[in-house]
Structure 1
Amino acid sequence: MAIVNQFDKRNGITYVYESVSHWDKEKQQPRSKRSLIGKRDPVTGEIIPTDGRGKKRRNPEAGTTEVNPGPVPFTVADRKFYGATYLLDQIGDSLGLTEDLKACFPSLYKQIQSIAYYLILESDSPLFRFEKWSTLHRHPYGANIPSQRSSELFAGISEESKQRFFSCLAKRHQPDEYWAYDTTSVSSYSQTLRQVQYGKNKESDPLAQLNLALVFGQDSGLPFYYRKLSGNIPDVSTIKNLLADFKVLGFDKVKLVMDRGFYSEANINALLGERLKFIIAAGTHLAYIRRHIDGIYDSIRSFENLDEQYGLYSSTILTDWEFQKERPNKKDVIREKRRVYLHAYFNIEKYADEEAHFDRRLLSMKGEILSGKRNPDHETFYKKYFEITDTPVRGIKVTIKEDVVKQTKRYFGFFALMTNEKMDAITALTLYRNKDLVEKAFGNIKERLNLRRLLVSSEKSLDGKLFVAFVALIYLSYLKKQMQDKGMFKDYTMQSLLDKLDVIECFENPGHDLRVGEILNKQKLIYEFMGVETPS
């Protein structure tokens, strides 16, 4: 149970609510219920209780009588678009997101929400057009946020408040949920941001970049943590600090899903050392992986190992990992065996594609040698796969090293996952493939949230803008999961769904309650699928 203060800028009154959070088993999501308990006295700070219907309770000692103040009056008649922002309001309440933002950013949470709404609903528009959108829409802050004010807002989002917010989100994650972890690059034109560096850009963009690491709940479909990284930091180097962040934030019982870019001996040791559960992809070029594949090479393609759903063969190998952990204080190293499971997979179609691609490359490289137009970048390939002789009489002769080619092709079509939690190979593969939640979320960040190019010039503004975009991503992720679960993508894109609701108007008139315009049956159905009551 929590006490929530909500300031109404229209009448200057701070209302006090009792908020109780609970887990809705039917909808499989956190919910909260608020009850009005009074108003906050602006002078003494005390709560003036009400009977729950806006009436002050009788004070027998003072001999006062109850006064019904009636509905909160509007001072100016106005009409605004309300349907889409109302949906976001309700999502924020049901997820506890509004409550967490208010607790961590008491003076800024409405501005943060309003800018997040704008990023969601006006994905193609720059932030300086917020004023026009604000005059047409009802939103949490209820007023314009000029460009200068938004920069101040971003700079005012402190690291301490963000950490508290991440901790609040983590407490709402579902128990025993696997967390997908991945990184992406965001390009920038800035020459002043220290973490904007040239590195391996995942979209082959020639600009300097900033890297973002994101943690996603696979069952809930919601993000609850991100990190900003220097643009030249490789994926494999990020695990150590991620685990340190988890400790600081109080995350326990962590289960991570990662791709092979994070695989290294040091990272496996770190994960095992922290007793964390994980699923991580491992490249078949590694001697450790190849040694175990060799053990099941002749048996994996049996009928019993074929999975019809994925169309591939699989086998699980229980093995040991040579765990090592340095202890700087004692100046020694712990060495022991830890049990891990290696899941090997063979895809016959993947094998055929890789073999055909490799054979074409062999022909191309052989042609380069025979033509006398050797590429210096290909010399290593030439030496590995060809015997080359050049005599004055016979000229250039190229012979393929059949044994080397055969050894290379031996592992085509294979891929592997490593886990330290007991499960079958197909369960591990299903959990791993759910990791595409993160990849799709990165698409939302860059496209819908207008972050493909970072248009900020200071570190503080960058940090703040990324945080507001992350808040917007939580709303978008909830919308996307609901649309997928209810099969709505066959009728709507996310943008068309929001546009469908965004035409619903509300009316503000002096002396009257807020009134909502006409709502069509299709619009009511959207609210129903989203788990939200139709506005009235």
Structure 2
Amino acid sequence: MALKASEEVKTRIVQQKQKNGDIYVIERKTKYDSVKKFNVVLSSKILGKIPKGEKEMVLTRPKRPNGTKVLNSKEQQSEITVSRRKVGMMDIIDHIGKISGIDDAIYANTDKGTAQKIISLARYLLATDGQSLPGITSWQYSHPLPYDEGLSESIYHNLFTDVGRNESLMQSFFASRIEKAGDTALLAYDSTTISTYSKQISEARFGFNKAHDGLPTVKLLSLYSVETRQPVVFTRQQGNQPDVITIENALKQLQVLGVKKAEIVTDNGYYSEKNLAEMLHARFDFITLVKIGISWVKKELENRFNEFSSTGSACPFDTNTHGVSVMLKHEFTRQRKYASMKKGLAGGTQESFERRIYLHLYFNPFRKVEQDSTFDKDMFELKYLVEKGTAEEELSPGAIEKINKYLNINRRGKAVNVTFNEKTIADAKKYHGYFALVSNCEKDPFECLSKYRRRETIEQFFEAGKQKTDGTRTRVWSSESLMGRMFVQFVALCYYEYLSEQLRQIKLKLEEDITAEKDLAETRKNKKKLLSWMNNTPVYLTLQWFDAVEEIKVSAKLRSRRWSTEITERDRILINYLGMKF
């Protein structure tokens, strides 16, 4: 079925070739006319031209209003030029780029022009909360960016292709991010899906789509430093690849980047005996969520049901959760890639080895109530579908399996009598409220739980990637351009995550300073105002607040002056905490 026209005004940048070989770059606003059944042009504005034989756009001279006097050469010598640009927000972003090391890492691994383009696009995405890139064409006139020659649609599309081919640039940048994470980094590993309309992206496949929009997807996999709150590495894979088979490539990438020791945290989508074996063989520590239904986990849980009721098993920072630990000797198997003369094993041989692991089992009664309620709701929905005669081909395989397992169905002619199989339901509910973590390094169940819960920051990171950097759709049409665009978005997310962490630390410092009462009464009052404002203002609106700060330049042949609009004392405190001075 065709999509319904939105009838919204759309802005596009088009290129129009002239007879003399020049190419005009035009900003065109159109709107779909549902009566005429085609797009109507509302306005056109020439932004510049690309001279014949050139690649870069030259900005056009603004049209002179009617009646404007043409200055002679003597008058032009004393002409005063005035410019006004918004600098408050951009000064903050520039400061973040420098103190985080993000800008230096880009400049160190590519030429100056390419680096300036990457940084400019990343700053635009951060400053606009992920507006689509065509908007930079007009936005850059009022906001200073490192690439001051002007970014057009053709320029950044060519950039994406070039960056997508420059594997050295990307891997060197990842290496700098890994170095910032420290020698014993705690790394969360997870994936998300990005939808695409393109049929030219080879990685785009039909599989599980987290957006549920029915489109093929590309899978984006990331490693995120939990302690520094920074993304460190990303890669992409086919959209139909299951999570469980992706971790081997992540381990290879870490080893190539020089990471010798790290603790990797994953959810149960990545649990498999093979993955644990690969992490152990690569000498990485790990924490992973494991399903209770796995036979050896289920066996240990059933032997310890009565241990969760003691006060000593309660988690110190979450007394609703109780936990017990089991140390096990577990046998793993992995396939050798190379032959071993010492062991007399050929390449491809299955090799078994035994390692000590820690199984941490947990129970939360509130989690049990929630799972029981969800389970009961599913049962009643399935009962209703069967009773109304829903055809089996209209049901998912999972729904059919549950119907066969948990419902008793008696048919008499057209009448259908459906009852619940209470015994099998009771057996299923017996394990509600329980969950388990496996680790080869964490002996304490609650330290392990604390680290696992901190991995949730990667979920926030993926959300930021889609909402803050225009990452919901690929918006490019080739694999190379996709990689380049993803890299620019990744740089923007490094900016965002670093600034977010800076603001979190400032709020903690404000609370300490207010409690200490070491400042003058007026200063303490402004700090309280600042803390209250920051607690109720997201990162994007914090930046937008400072976008009101403008720089005015007035220059003539004999004089030049520059000044900025004033800021309040409350705002000045935040600027000082960031380590800046206005």
Shorter-chain TM-score category? 0.7 to 0.9
Partner residue in 2 for 1:426: 446
Give the C-alpha shift of residue 355 in structure 1. Answer: 2.1
SS at match of 1:486: helix
Give the C-alpha shift of residue 342 in structure 1. Answer: 1.1
Would the aligned equivalents of 2:442 and 2:448 in 1 still touch at CA under 8 Å?
no
Answering whether residue 346 of structure 2 is matched by residue 337 of structure 1, we say no
Would the aligned equivalents of 2:129 and 2:540 in 1 still touch at CA under 8 Å?
no
For residues 169 and 372 of structure 1, what CA distance do their matches in structure 2 show? 57
SS at match of 1:200: coil
For residues 477 and 484 of structure 2, what CA distance do their matches in structure 1 show? 12
| Larger mean Cα displacement after TM superposition, 367-376 or 432-441 | 367-376
Would the aligned equivalents of 1:269 and 1:325 in 2 still touch at CA under 8 Å?
yes
Answering whether residue 315 of structure 2 is matched by residue 307 of structure 1, we say yes
Structure 1 residues 62-101: aligned runs within 5 Å: 77-101=82-106
Give the C-alpha shift of residue 86 in structure 1. Answer: 1.2
CA deviation profile, 1:278-337 (whole Å, cap 9, x unmatched): 111111122122112112112112222123632211111111221223224222433222
Answering whether residue 237 of structure 2 is matched by residue 229 of structure 1, we say yes
Partner residue in 1 for 2:565: 517
Give the C-alpha shift of residue 273 in structure 1. Answer: 1.0
Change (3 A) 1:509 1:321: farther
Aligned equivalent of 2:150, options 144, 155, 178? 144
Change (3 A) 1:505 1:414: same
Structure 1 residues 10-29: aligned runs within 5 Å: none
Q: Which amino acid aligns with 1:346?
A: F
- What residue ranges of structure 1 are gaps of 5+ in the alignment? 1-74
Aligned equivalent of 2:404, options 383, 399, 413? 383
Answering whether residue 119 of structure 2 is matched by residue 113 of structure 1, we say yes
Partner residue in 1 for 2:326: 317
Aligned equivalent of 2:455, options 428, 435, 453? 435
Would the aligned equivalents of 1:184 and 1:211 in 2 still touch at CA under 8 Å?
yes
Partner residue in 1 for 2:550: 505
For residues 213 and 381 of structure 1, what CA distance do their matches in structure 2 show? 32
Give the C-alpha shift of residue 474 in structure 1. Answer: 0.5
Partner residue in 2 for 1:534: 581
Would the aligned equivalents of 2:188 and 2:223 in 1 still touch at CA under 8 Å?
yes
For residues 396 and 441 of structure 1, what CA distance do their matches in structure 2 show? 49
Structure 1 residues 16-415: aligned runs within 5 Å: 77-107=82-112, 108-123=114-129, 125-157=131-163, 158-307=166-315, 309-310=317-318, 311-328=320-337, 329=339, 330-331=345-346, 332-366=349-383, 375=392, 377=395, 378-388=399-409, 400-415=420-435
Give the C-alpha shift of residue 386 in structure 1. Answer: 4.4
Give the C-alpha shift of residue 260 in structure 1. Answer: 0.7
| Larger mean Cα displacement after TM superposition, 214-223 or 357-366 | 357-366
Give the C-alpha shift of residue 389 in structure 1. Answer: 5.3
Would the aligned equivalents of 1:185 and 1:202 in 2 still touch at CA under 8 Å?
yes
CA deviation profile, 1:41-77 (whole Å, cap 9, x unmatched): xxxxxxxxxxxxxxxxxxxxxxxxxxxxxxxxxx965
Would the aligned equivalents of 2:185 and 2:261 in 1 still touch at CA under 8 Å?
no
Would the aligned equivalents of 1:195 and 1:210 in 2 still touch at CA under 8 Å?
yes
SS at match of 2:465: helix
For residues 389 and 149 of structure 1, what CA distance do their matches in structure 2 show? 68
Would the aligned equivalents of 2:102 and 2:495 in 1 still touch at CA under 8 Å?
no
Change (3 A) 1:513 1:199: farther
Would the aligned equivalents of 2:183 and 2:262 in 1 still touch at CA under 8 Å?
no
Partner residue in 1 for 2:526: none
CA deviation profile, 1:88-135 (whole Å, cap 9, x unmatched): 111121111121111112231111111111111123532222132211
Give the C-alpha shift of residue 404 in structure 1. Answer: 2.5
Partner residue in 2 for 1:49: none
| Larger mean Cα displacement after TM superposition, 416-425 or 515-524 | 515-524
Change (3 A) 1:414 1:533: same
SS at match of 1:304: helix
Partner residue in 1 for 2:537: 492
Change (3 A) 1:76 1:396: closer
For residues 458 and 360 of structure 1, what CA distance do their matches in structure 2 show? 44
Give the C-alpha shift of residue 360 in structure 1. Answer: 4.1
Provide the TM-score with structure 1 as the length reference.
Answer: 0.80
Change (3 A) 1:244 1:389: same
For residues 360 and 435 of structure 2, what CA distance do their matches in structure 1 show? 9
Change (3 A) 1:150 1:373: closer
Change (3 A) 1:102 1:124: closer
Would the aligned equivalents of 2:177 and 2:232 in 1 still touch at CA under 8 Å?
yes
Would the aligned equivalents of 2:137 and 2:151 in 1 still touch at CA under 8 Å?
yes
Change (3 A) 1:297 1:98: same
Would the aligned equivalents of 1:84 and 1:499 in 2 still touch at CA under 8 Å?
yes
For residues 323 and 342 of structure 1, what CA distance do their matches in structure 2 show? 15
Would the aligned equivalents of 2:191 and 2:243 in 1 still touch at CA under 8 Å?
yes
| Larger mean Cα displacement after TM superposition, 356-365 or 170-179 | 356-365
Would the aligned equivalents of 2:364 and 2:434 in 1 still touch at CA under 8 Å?
yes
Q: Would you say how many aligned residue pairs link Structure 1 and Structure 2?
A: 459
Give the C-alpha shift of residue 391 in structure 1. Answer: 6.8
Would the aligned equivalents of 1:81 and 1:138 in 2 still touch at CA under 8 Å?
yes
Give the C-alpha shift of residue 521 in structure 1. Answer: 1.7
For residues 428 and 174 of structure 2, what CA distance do their matches in structure 1 show? 46
Give the C-alpha shift of residue 177 in structure 1. Answer: 2.6
Q: Which amino acid aligns with 2:452?
A: Y
User: RMSD across aligned C-alpha pairs, in angstroms?
Assistant: 2.5
For residues 225 and 388 of structure 2, what CA distance do their matches in structure 1 show? 55
SS at match of 1:136: coil
Would the aligned equivalents of 1:87 and 1:532 in 2 still touch at CA under 8 Å?
no
Q: Which amino acid aligns with 2:367?
A: K
Identity of aligned residues (%): 26
Give the C-alpha shift of residue 528 in structure 1. Answer: 2.8
Give the C-alpha shift of residue 525 in structure 1. Answer: 2.1
For residues 470 and 310 of structure 2, what CA distance do their matches in structure 1 show? 49
SS at match of 1:415: strand
Q: Which amino acid aligns with 2:314?
A: L
For residues 151 and 379 of structure 1, what CA distance do their matches in structure 2 show? 47
| Larger mean Cα displacement after TM superposition, 218-227 or 286-295 | 286-295
Change (3 A) 1:462 1:397: closer
Q: Which amino acid aligns with 1:111?
A: K
Would the aligned equivalents of 1:254 and 1:276 in 2 still touch at CA under 8 Å?
yes
Would the aligned equivalents of 2:204 and 2:238 in 1 still touch at CA under 8 Å?
yes
Change (3 A) 1:371 1:83: closer
CA deviation profile, 1:122-173 (whole Å, cap 9, x unmatched): 2353222213221111221223111111111122211121111111221121
| Larger mean Cα displacement after TM superposition, 487-496 or 344-353 | 487-496
Give the C-alpha shift of residue 178 in structure 1. Answer: 0.4
For residues 246 and 213 of structure 2, what CA distance do their matches in structure 1 show? 22
Would the aligned equivalents of 1:500 and 1:523 in 2 still touch at CA under 8 Å?
no
SS at match of 2:303: helix
Answering whether residue 470 of structure 2 is matched by residue 450 of structure 1, we say yes
